[in-house]
A and B are shown apart, each in its own frame.
Chain A
Amino acid sequence: MSTRPVHLAPEDHGTAREHGSRRRYRIGVALAILLTVIPFWLVMSGALPNAAVTAAIIFALALVQIVVHVVSFLHLDTQSEGGWTLLAFLFTAVIVVLTIGGSVWVMYHLNTNMMPMPDSAPSTMR
Chain B
Amino acid sequence: MTHRTTAAPGAAITWHHLDADDHDHDHGGGATVLGFWIYLMSDALIFASLFAMFGVVSTSYAGGPVPRQIFDLPLVALNTALLLASSITFGQAMPHMEAGRIGPTRLWLAVTGVLGAAFVGVELYEFSHLIAEGAGPQRSAFLSAFFTLVGTHGAHVTVGLIWVVTMLVQIGQHGLTGEIRRRVVCLSMFWHFLDIIWIGVFNFVYLYGVIR
Judge if B107 is at the interface, Cβ distance under 8 Å.
no
B3 neighbours in A (Cβ, 8 Å) = 5-6, 9, 13
Do A9 and B88 touch across chains, with their CB atoms under 8 A apart? no
Q: A39's contact among B52, B60, B207, by CB below 8 Å, is which?
A: B207
Do B192 and A10 touch across chains, with their CB atoms under 8 A apart? no
Judge if B112 is at the interface, Cβ distance under 8 Å.
no
On whether A36 and B17 interact (CB within 8 A), knowing A100-B51, A104-B52, the answer reads no
Tell me, rounded to whole Å, the shortest Cβ–Cβ distance linking A53 to chain B. 10
Q: A75's contact among B16, B21, B59, B81, by CB below 8 Å, is which?
A: B16
Do B45 and A99 touch across chains, with their CB atoms under 8 A apart? yes
Do A81 and B7 touch across chains, with their CB atoms under 8 A apart? no
Q: Give the CA-CA distance A28 to B33 in the complex, in Å.
A: 22
Judge if B203 is at the interface, Cβ distance under 8 Å.
yes
Do B56 and A104 touch across chains, with their CB atoms under 8 A apart? yes
Do A29 and B91 touch across chains, with their CB atoms under 8 A apart? yes
Q: A84's contact among B11, B34, B195, by CB below 8 Å, is which?
A: B34
Extra inter-chain contacts (14) besides given A39-B207, A81-B30, CB under 8 Å: A9-B6, A17-B11, A18-B17, A21-B16, A29-B91, A33-B84, A36-B80, A59-B203, A59-B208, A73-B196, A81-B33, A81-B37, A85-B37, A92-B41
List of 10 A-B pairs having minimum Cβ-Cβ separation, nearest first: A14-B20, A75-B16, A103-B52, A62-B203, A104-B55, A73-B192, A92-B41, A96-B48, A13-B7, A107-B56
A-B contact pairs, 23 of them (CB 8 A): A5-B2, A5-B3, A10-B10, A11-B20, A21-B17, A36-B202, A39-B203, A40-B202, A40-B207, A51-B212, A55-B212, A65-B199, A66-B196, A69-B192, A69-B199, A74-B196, A75-B16, A80-B16, A84-B37, A99-B51, A100-B55, A117-B59, A119-B61
